[in-house]
A and B are shown apart, each in its own frame.
Chain A
Amino acid sequence: MSNTQEFPPPVKWVDDRLGIAKIGKKNLRKVFPDHWSFMLGEIALYSFIILILTGTFLTFWFKPSMAEVQYNGSYSLLKGLHMSEAYASTLDITFDVRGGLLVRQIHHWAAVLFIAAMMVHLLRMFFTGAFRKPRELNWLIGFGMLFLGIIEGFIGYGLPDDLLSGTGLRITNGMIQASPIVGTYMNFFIFGGEFPGDEFVSRFFIVHVLLIPGIILGLVTAHLFLVVYHKHTQYAGPGRTQKNVVGYPLFPVYTAKAGGFFFVVFGITALMGALMQINPVWLYGPYNPAEVTAGSQPDWYMGWLEGAVRIFPGFESHFWGITLGWNLLIPALIIPPAFVTLVALYPFIEGWISGDKREHHLLDRPRDVPTRTGVGVGFITFYALLWIGGGNDLIATHFGVSLNHVTWFLRFAVILGPILAFWVARRWAISLQRADYARLTHGLETGVIVRSPEGKYTEKHQPISTYEAYSLTARDRVVPHEIGPETDDNGVRAPRRALNKARAALSRFYFADAVQKPTAQELEEAHEHAHDADEIHELTEDTETYREVTSDRS
């Protein structure tokens, strides 16, 4: 190789100005590991790009104004009606701009997908422990995008100024109004006076098309930069360690795979926009504060908030000339922020409990951290039950049950359900760990039953491959941290005793019941034992199902 190699002229022109070889050197062949669950974040990123593209198209025709006009477009059912320019221009996009309805539907589907993908991506991060050091900040950035994405979605949903979204905004207005001291003031500042006023569409519009997308774009950049800097996490496996990352290079494999995946996501949202109706605002009619439709539902990501507000009993306090509406304060202004704060801070909470200060680049299998998995499932259950609460009327009408019963059931279920789900998921994870342990020490159940000369029935076990065995054992031995002696050698009480006790208790709760992987010695003993018995386990005489017997592992 000669040192005087030069870029071909057009590339040279760019390199002379930007030094692209220096930037590209490290990244062109950057390695990314392969796993289906790593695509979830990609879906979120791609739907964001689709949102920007389709959203820009829509702004060419959408008029963010609440000025009243008489509709004269081609949708005959609403002809002559008074409505805001925002709603009228949405009808124009739908009925008079070719491709308008398609793009509007792609935009809405992509928004729904964007938030769903971010949420599932967050769950993947959670259950595999990808949020641990050094990625806590990226967890926060991602969380921030999810939070902003939900607000962005809700505001965008309010822009067409149709009856359904107007009802949603009326509800939001009522919730804000419940805030202590500042409630009415906040409402008057946000809506420019009383609801509905004539300001919110133009204000929400600029927040929706510039402010929030701008912030999200900045956060996406930081998020991706950190992914590149930290390098992607990977699942443990042969040759995959804390110190390396194994996979395919960015160029060409991921350029083709990830680039192709963008087109796949775009293609699928376009097909959804073509074939599946979403938010048919022309059926709802223009916003009218004296009307509402039965079965009103927000977009799916607001459902849990709606559910919290629906199932909370009607408590209100009046004293000293003030009113505190607990029926909104608790389900709309306290529980949701508390819930999301807990989610945002989870990496720091778990880090404090485990006391773990090391970097982690190998992902946990959910079963290997049973308590975290249980907590996650408990959270999902809580969210899901609230979400179901958001459709309590539809459940009542579709299944022919009493609305009051559904609501009362959910009032208890949102508290008991997560506890039960936590416990079940945690025990389930521990059982899976035991199954792994047995697979390692006893091998694979072959289902082959052998009769010995003495008449004993036994099932043959086959040892698993070294690669699989290594994958099953390539994880940390996490034990709860000890609290240490009450006093030191000089009889001085250790500081912050109560806090440390609580921490040790939490740590035991987190890690004490988890099944540890076998030690080398245990593994050897198990294999020897298996060898003695010719990899065969005895069957008790009175058992009829062979399978069950083999699960009796000591």
Chain B
Amino acid sequence: MSDDKNLPVVKDDGEHHGAVEVAEPIPDPGLEPHEPRITDIDPKAADRVERQVSAMFGLATLLVLGACVAYFAIGRDSILQFGPLSGNANNMVMGLCIGLALFLIGAGAIQWAKKLMVDEEISEDRHAAHSSPEQIAEITEAFKQGTAESGFGRRKMIRNSLIGALGVLGLPAIIFLRDLGPLPGRSLYNTIWAKGIRVVNDVTDRPIKPSDLIVGQLVNAAPANLAPLQEENPTEYQNAKAKAAVIVVRIKPSEIRTKPGRENWGIDGILCYSKICTHVGCPISLYEQTTHHVLCPCHQSTFDLSDSAKVVFGPAARPLPQLPLALDSEGYLVAQSGFTEPVGPSFWERG
């Protein structure tokens, strides 16, 4: 099929298909006659507009100066109050002055253009975007000459070796970026939780005893070895926290459905789960006591803490990893071990 055939067919009263251009049903009457504006006819009106425009520009000048005065005159912390609304006075006065000044400069210029400048529309011819045949011939000739003079087409060895050299230039551009970061290795599989690490309240850093928790209570917690990291290495602290945050919850033991193999992971209905959502890693924080559901505020994945934190709604696909708990010699909650699976969002090599 040639391209011509694919062109939309110009219809001739719906009878013949072909390239016959139908006369437009209505011939082009040409540009509408220019309607004079009031400012074109009445010099008084034109003068009025001139006064308007210069008033806008004049007011703008005053406002700009006002903004400069406000910068020095209004204290950093003074407050403006309008009923229930309030705002920083320095910020607002400067912004109002500058904003209005800019607006008036713009409005004045537009008013000037619309009311006083000649408003008769003019027409300009268009030209096709493509080059003329002469230009095409000329450039083709010049290009051919250049190619011939360089011998680029004939001397294939030069050409190919150049392409090769330029091609490998891409390699360092990629390789040199290697040190952007370490390789993931096993770091996503581990947290700083380990056997015997105490579970501490994440605000007070106090270790938790079972008796501290009443049924229905949920506590945000962290491993006891997290807080000391903050002084040592703030970055490590943040990274460790991003994986190790947990929630400790106490549920009536009769309401808990324990997964086989996890029978000794809780202490009298006290269970500990990763706080990091298995969807994209937001910290989960909304707990509904009556249903034992926690909801992730980012994408609303909902997990049932009484049923091994399985997903009951939302985009998450996996339950929250559970941390096996035990009691140490002083009766505080400790981890039996680290997490048995990687916490947080899924990744390819996770398995």
Contacts and interface: CB of A to CB of B under 8 A. Distances in A.
Nearest to A185: B184
Given A245-B126, A325-B345, A470-B26, 8 more contacts: A184-B188, A190-B180, A252-B113, A275-B87, A290-B202, A313-B315, A327-B315, A519-B25
Interface string A15-29: 000000000000001
Contacts of A358: 7
A477 interface: yes
B347 A183 contact: yes
B263 interface: no
Interface in B88-116: 88, 90-92, 94-96, 98-110, 112-114
A292 B298 contact: yes
Contact of A289 (B102, B113, B238): B238
A515 to B, nearest CB: 13
A171 B316 contact: no
A198 B128 CA distance: 55
B217 interface: no
Nearest to B318: A316
A129 to B, nearest CB: 13
A256 B109 contact: yes
Contacts of A106: 95
Given A192-B180, A252-B113, A316-B317, A290 B222 contact: yes
Interface residues of A, number: 153
Interface in A297-347: 306, 309-316, 318, 321-328, 331
B245 A359 contact: no
A267 B234 contact: no
Given A467-B32, A519-B13, A520-B25, A171 B280 contact: yes
28 contacts: A74-B77, A82-B234, A96-B76, A170-B280, A171-B298, A192-B181, A194-B242, A199-B181, A240-B31, A244-B123, A256-B113, A261-B106, A267-B100, A267-B103, A275-B96, A289-B241, A309-B315, A327-B316, A328-B279, A328-B345, A355-B3, A355-B8, A357-B7, A359-B128, A470-B28, A474-B24, A479-B8, A484-B5
Interface in A160-186: 167, 170-171, 173-175, 177-185
Contact of A239 (B6, B9, B32): B32
Contact of A466 (B17, B26, B242): B26
Interface string B121-155: 11111101100000000000000000000000000
Contact of B26 (A242, A392, A478, A523): A523
B114 A257 contact: yes
B320 to A, nearest CB: 13
Contact of A252 (B7, B91, B95, B117): B117
Contacts of A325: 317, 345-346
Given A292-B283, A316-B317, A327-B279, A194 B129 contact: no
B51 to A, nearest CB: 17
Nearest to B178: A189
A341 to B, nearest CB: 23
A5 to B, nearest CB: 23
A101 B91 contact: yes
Interface string A233-277: 000001111111111110011101101111111111111111101
B105 A260 contact: yes
A270 to B, nearest CB: 3
B10 interface: yes
Contact of A261 (B110, B235, B279): B110
A106 B238 CA distance: 32
Contact of B124 (A96, A105, A231, A289): A231
Given A246-B121, A314-B279, A516 B11 contact: yes
B110 A244 contact: no
Interface in B255-295: 275, 279-283, 285-286
Contact of A473 (B24, B71, B76): B24
Contact of B123 (A198, A245, A355, A466): A245
A239 B282 CA distance: 61
Given A273-B95, A482-B17, A314 B317 contact: yes
B306 interface: no
Contact of A262 (B28, B106, B117, B230): B106
Contacts, number: 379
Nearest to B23: A520
Contacts of B234: 67-68, 82, 198
A34 B91 CA distance: 37
Nearest to B120: A248
Nearest to B242: A289
B265 to A, nearest CB: 22
A60 interface: no
Nearest to A308: B315
Contacts of A102: 91, 94-95, 98
Most chain B beta-carbon contacts within 10 A, residue among A306, A311, A440, A470? A470
A279 B243 CA distance: 27
Contacts of A393: 297, 300
Interface in A348-370: 354-359, 361
B121 A247 contact: yes
Nearest to B96: A274
Given A99-B71, A99-B91, A263-B102, A244 B125 contact: yes
B279 A174 contact: yes
B218 interface: no
A543 interface: no
B176 interface: no
Interface in A24-61: 29-31, 34
Interface string B315-330: 1111000000000000
Nearest to A100: B91
A96 to B, nearest CB: 7
B22 interface: yes
B298 A248 contact: no
Interface string A501-526: 00000000001000011111111000
B301 interface: yes
Nearest to A172: B280
B239 interface: yes
A407 B8 contact: no
A265 B103 CA distance: 7
Given A194-B239, A469-B26, A98 B348 contact: no
